[in-house]
Amino acid sequence: LRHLITLENLGADMITRLLDRAEALRAEWFSQRRKLDLLHGRTVVNLFFENSTRTRTSFDLAAKRLGADVINFDIASSSTSKGESLVDTLHTLEAMHCDAFVVRHKENGTAEFLARHVRGSACVINAGDGNNAHPTQGLLDAFTIRRHRPDFSALRVLICGDILHSRVARSDIHALRALGVGALRICAPANLLPAQEELPGVEIVEDFDQALAGVDVVIMLRLQKERMQQAQVPSEQAYYARYGLDARRLRLARPDCLVLHPGPINREVEIASAVADGAQSCILEQVGNGVFVRMAVLAELFDT
C-alpha cells in the first residue's frame, strides 16, 4: 500500500489484511497497554481543512501508539491564510522530512491530488474528501461489524440517511461489497439519494419501516447540512418522523440488529437517544476501533 485514498481499488485480500492487523494491534494494546515502536523516528502530519473530533484524534493516538511524532497542523494559523497553496504547503512540510499526511478537505479529490504531488516517499491518507470517500471509516465500520458478525455473506445491512452527501456511505458500500456482504440496502429521502448508477448492487427502499425489516445491521447517517443547498435542508421534525431510528423502528429489524453511526450524531434528528445509548448501539465501540484500524493503516503504509 503506497497511499490510502479510497477503498474502491482495494480488494478483499487487502481489506481483510488491514482488519486482521487492526485485530492483532487491538489485542496487543489491551494485553500490554504500552506504545509500540513500529513508527519510531517517523512524523505524521494531520492536515485537517474540515473539522473533526473522531478522525483527527484517533489518527493522533494511532500514530503516537506506534511511536511516531505527530504534528496537528493548525490550518487557521498557518500560511495557507496568506495564500500559500496546498501543494506548496505539502512540499514545505515534506522539506522538514514529514513522512505521512492525513488529509481532510471539503473538495472531492484533494487527498488524491496531494498524493500525486508528493515528491519523496511520504504517504497520503484520505481522512475524508467532500462526499467522495472516507476509507478509514469504511474500514472501521467493517471491523466493528466483523467483531460481532464474522460471516459477511449472511448479513443484511441497511444504510439510512443523507446518502447523497455521505463519503462514509460510499466507503462503507465499497468495504461491505468487497467483503461479500449478503445484502445491502439504502434508504433516504429522494432528494438525498445519489443516482442509481452510482450504487451498483444496492437495493433502494424508500420507506424506512420497510427497509428495516429483517436487517442485521443498520448504519445511520447524519444530515450533512454543510454540503446541502438551502432547498435540500429538510425540517428536522419531519425528517425524524420519517427517517429517525427510534425504539419502535428498531424492533422492525432483527432482534440482535447492530446499530452503527459514524458520528457526530444529532440526537432526535436521525437517531433517538434511547437507541444511540441502547444495548444494540455500537457507536462508541466504532470510535474505539477507529484507533486500531488507523494504527493498522499506518503500519501497513510504512510496511512495518
The answer to whether 262 contacts ligand CP (rule: CB under 6 A) is: yes
Q: d(Cα 93, Cα 46) in Å, to the nearest integer?
A: 11
From candidates 42, 245, 263, 299, binder to ligand CP by CB under 6 A = 263
DSSP annotation of 133 reads B
Torsion of the alpha carbons at 51, 290, 195 and 223, rounded to the nearest 10: -50
Q: d(Cα 271, Cα 161) in Å, to the nearest integer?
A: 10
Q: d(Cα 298, Cα 183) in Å, to the nearest integer?
A: 31
The answer to whether 137 contacts ligand CP (rule: CB under 6 A) is: yes
Least distance between ligand CP and beta carbon 167 (Å): 9
Subset of 159-198 contacting ligand CP (CB under 6 A): none
Query: What would the DSSP string read from start to end of 255-303?
Result: TT-EEE--S---BTTTB-HHHHTSTTB-HHHHHHHHHHHHHHHHHHHTT
From candidates 27, 40, 53, 198, binder to ligand CP by CB under 6 A = 53
Burial class (CB in 10 A: 0-12, 13-18, 19+), 63: buried
* Positions at the binding site for carbamoyl phosphate: 54-55, 104, 134, 137, 263-264
CB 59 within 8 A of CB 124: no
The answer to whether 126 contacts ligand CP (rule: CB under 6 A) is: no
The answer to whether 80 contacts ligand CP (rule: CB under 6 A) is: no
The answer to whether 227 contacts ligand CP (rule: CB under 6 A) is: no
Nearer to ligand CP, 46 or 89 (CB): 46
Considering only the stretches 51-59, 94-102, 153-161, 186-194, report the one whose residues sit in contact with ligand CP under the rule CB under 6 A.
Answer: 51-59
The answer to whether 52 contacts ligand CP (rule: CB under 6 A) is: yes
From candidates 17, 54, 225, 267, binder to ligand CP by CB under 6 A = 54
* Positions at the binding site for L-aspartate: 82, 167, 222
Residue 266 CA neighbour count, 13 Å, CB half: 15
Least distance between ligand CP and beta carbon 32 (Å): 27
Binding site for ligand CP (CB under 6 A): 52-55, 128, 137, 262-264
